[in-house]
Amino acid sequence: MKRISRMMLASITIVLAALLYPPAAYGNWDGAIYPSSYKSIMIFSLSFIILIAVSYLVLKLYINHLRRIIHGEQEFSKNVLDHTHLFIWAVHSDKRILRINKYVEWLTGIQEADVVGKKYDELMYIKEYYGRIVELMDNALAMNFVDHQEITLICNEQGDYKTFLFRTTVITGISGNPDVFIVCGIDIHERKLYEKMLQNSYQELEGIYEEVAVTKEEMQVQMHELLLNQDKLRSSEEKFRLASLGSGAVIWDTDPSTGNYDVSDRLFDLLGYRRDEIETTAEQWRELLHPDDLIATEVVRQAYLNGETPVYEAEYRMIKKNGEHLWIQARGMLLRNSDGCPGRFSGSMIDITEQKNYELQLQRSYKALEETYEELAVTQDELRENYDMLVENDRLLRRSEERYKLVAESSNGGIWEIDFIRNRRFYSPRWFQLLGYRYEDDMPSERLEHVMHPEDVKRVSEELKAAQAGEKELFECEYRLLKKNGEYNWFIGRGKVLFDELGMACRMAGSDVDIHELKLSQERLQHLAYYDALSDLPNRQYLLEELEYYFAYSLGKSALFFVDTDNFKYINDTLGHKFGDQLLKQVSLRLSSLVREEGMLFRLGGDEFVILQRDIEREAQAEDLAEILIQGFKEPFRINDSDLYVSISMGISFYPKDGVSGEEILKNADVAMYKAKETGKGRYMLFSPSFLQTFNDRVNVEKYLREAIKKEEFVLHYQPQVSLRTGKIVGFESLIRWNSPVLGLVSPLSFVKVAEDSRLIVPIGEWVLLRSCSFAKGLHDQGIGNYKISVNISVVQLVQDEFVDMVIRILGETGLNPIYLELEITESIIIESFDIVIPKLEFLKRLGVQIALDDFGTGYSSLSYLQQMPITTLKIDRTFIEQVPIEEDKRSLARAIVLIGRRMGLVVVAEGVETRRQLDYVKRAKCDVIQGYLISKPLKDEEAKELLRSQRVFDI
């Protein structure tokens, strides 16, 4: 590419030379330049240049296209090698490892990055555990290649052994010499297992063949029993017909050799088709299956036919005539003929759409119980009068019994039958199994008569009579049955009555399905919907429904308490969520013990509780209860061998004075609670309509504050800090300003507290820190100078686990040297969370970040605490500066604070200096740095830079 570029550049140079100096191109030039010839030369030259440029551009585009193709091929090859289940290992001819794919990494535990470029025979781990691979490599380098060689290797990930089929090959280089040697292996472990299983199947088949021979001899003896079996055939067919009508299941039978199906009419009723509208072939069956379930259903079917599962059982969706989906559960068993080959495949299908809906409602947490009803369809030809007819009847009898046995064994429900004429009952083995009995157990008749729960007898009897009278097409009822262990389980019974030619009920057949777990799940779901999981108190949903019911039917008065735990969010952030949960549990118990029968306690969520006091005669009753609650929380909570003092704030609203709906009463109590917090916490307030304006203002501030973060409506101003010794600016304090398009200019005093309570201060504080560091770094990059930037930090930010990481990340992103960043922390923050805050500040200080103790003198920290704080700067609160003594007072607090700072080696900053008199005072106190409106108001970004460029020295 570079050679072509030089050739094109030379050509363009020659053309330009010819254009500018014709004699260089024409040897017979007579010294005169004719306009026509010169114009022709220019046209030719420009055309030649354009042609060369276009050719160069096309050639460059083509080369870039080739590079992209090569890169794509390389990426494709890498993805194929990494995502296939092949063992790929490539080495150079000098035994250095060139490449191993992801499958080799998974198998051996070796990472490609650790071994590429190393010789494989120098890796002891490979030689010890994978010596056969090393042997293949050595043979391949000696040009002795193998094909289809079986080797067993250990899997590092699972510790199991896997069998592979290996092949070695070589890739020659451009020169034709061997360059890369490759060992490729495919996992044949499962194939080996299947071969072993197949061998076992052959042995089982041989045993079956022997049993068939014995069975053939026995059949000759059973021929004499054919006449006796005719009565059994009639009885069996009658049972099949009753069960088929009563269970609601679909009975199917298929011949594996043809694939054709024989299904009962129930399937056509479920799908909405007439029998003549669809064919009962395998192809038609697949068209009725949902496309997403087709492959999975076929896999399950083949697995059963291959003998991998004892019973065929599958769930899939079928498409109804109206386009809707119907969930089906199919069960069946295979009957093999005397040759051991599949002879008949029969079973049942039930509609489980309702069960699937339950599973969806319970969020896949509870497994709906299967509802199965066996419907048997047996056809009978008239008996022949000769021996051939007896043989045919024997065949039909055996086939009917086999079908009945297959359906009964594959059903989850217990089948029962009632003979109203003979007053007899029949129960299937599965029915006894559901009650904990074996079919062989001797169950007392008196227990069988009292198996139903006494409370359900009347209701079931009424449903049964209605079915016998023909008032209902199907008998369906839920009831409890007594199990062998003495416990009652819930069942759902469904059945159908058979009427004789006179219209009298003669028989009834059906099944019982165990729905006990479903009932328990519904009860648990009901409890979860109306009770709080942590405290087991009634929740918000319970409260709203209780209020709606009470307000609808009560004419009395009531009080609603909105209770909030003071400083819970701070406790949760500093001591952890597990500690917070323990505290909430104890708060719930204490509230319950204090409220007792005076009201009903609810937990809304978090640290918020509600008390409903019904039917009060006067408001003083609510105030008496509030006083009991306030006093009750003056005792400490004992958690993890520590005493924790927690207070509560309450707001109280009254029905119907403060509202006539649950939402209104609850909102007004919430408003009153916020008013109680604003007035000092640990108290209660009765709702007043005047509270609404303050509350709404706070809500509006929080609402627009969230929008301000997204729309970046905040700006930073920077107030200079000046050295009293030199009069020069040494740094700035960044101060946030919010100019809302809706609320206008909002004071930080109004929105910072709201931001802290709502935790919005975390993203806002991160934004302030990022912009401040960018500002300081910008001063350095623009050559203005290196200046310290001070940023105020909230306690909410400081207790965050990722606070230190956030500061380090911003310093890294902006490139600011940590020594030019100062974090301002108020004295009260450090005292309240000393053990959590100090380690973070010490770490940042070791990085070079400066720590300033803001508003010093307003807290209650002792000198011992002060000495443990990793601070570099003391900032005297403006309240000490505003009240300047008329005469010099050697005992002034400002002078004392400066003296403390000097002794500790700290820089002392006086903020809020606005008059010359205050300036003289802080000078006499010997402060190091001052800031305030006497020096400058907070400045915008460009204003601060202009002030620095002026290099002003202040006259102080």
pLDDT digits (tens, 9 = 90+) for 842-876: 999 999 999 998 876 555 445 556 777 899 999 88
Q: Which helix (H) or strand (E) holds 642?
A: strand 642-644
Cβ neighbours around 262 below 10 Å, total: 13
**Lowest mean pLDDT, pick from 115-124, 220-229, 387-396:** 387-396
Written as six digits, the tokens of 439 are: 């079919």
Please determine, for residue 366, whether its predicted confidence score (pLDDT) is greater than 50: no
**Sheet harboring 505-514: ordered strands across?**
424-427, 414-419, 505-514, 488-499, 475-482
- Give the model's pLDDT for residue 788: 96
pLDDT at 233: 59
523 has pLDDT over 80: no
- 649-681 b/e (C-beta count within 10 Å ≥ 16 → b): bbbbbbbeebbeebeebbbbbbbbbbbbbeeee
pLDDT of residue 408: 54
CB atoms within 10 A of CB 463: 18
Q: Give 751 or 527, the one with higher predicted confidence.
A: 751
Q: Tell me: the pLDDT tens digits for 703-723?
A: 888 888 888 889 999 999 999
CA-closest candidate to residue 288, choices 311, 320, 264: 320
The residue length of the chain stands at: 956
- pLDDT band of 763, cuts 50, 70, 90: very high
In the 8-state DSSP scheme, what is residue 30? -
Whether the pTM exceeds 0.85: the reply is no
- How far is the C-alpha of 464 from the C-alpha of 418, rounded, in Å? 11
| Predicted pLDDT at 591 | 93
Residue 104 has what pLDDT?
A: 83
Q: Which of 10-14, 419-423, 769-773 shows the lowest mean pLDDT across its residues? A: 10-14
- Selection from 110-114, 191-195, 605-609 with the highest mean pLDDT: 605-609
Q: Decide if pLDDT at 6 tops 90.
A: no
Residue 27: predicted pLDDT: 46
Please compute the mean of the pLDDT values over residues 16-21 and round it to a whole number.
54
- Asked if the model's pLDDT at residue 258 lies above 80, the reply is no
Task: Say what the pLDDT of residue 565 is.
Answer: 92
pLDDT at site 579: 84
Beta-bridged to residue 644, according to DSSP, are 637
Q: In the chain, what percentage of residues exceed pLDDT 90?
A: 21
Which range is most confident: 68-77, 557-566, 703-712?
557-566
pLDDT digits (tens, 9 = 90+) for 867-903: 778 999 998 877 777 766 555 554 466 677 788 888 8
Q: Is the pLDDT of residue 434 over 80?
A: yes
Q: Report the alpha-carbon distance of residue 130 to residue 291 in Å, rounded.
A: 46
- C-alpha radius of gyration, the chain, whole number: 45
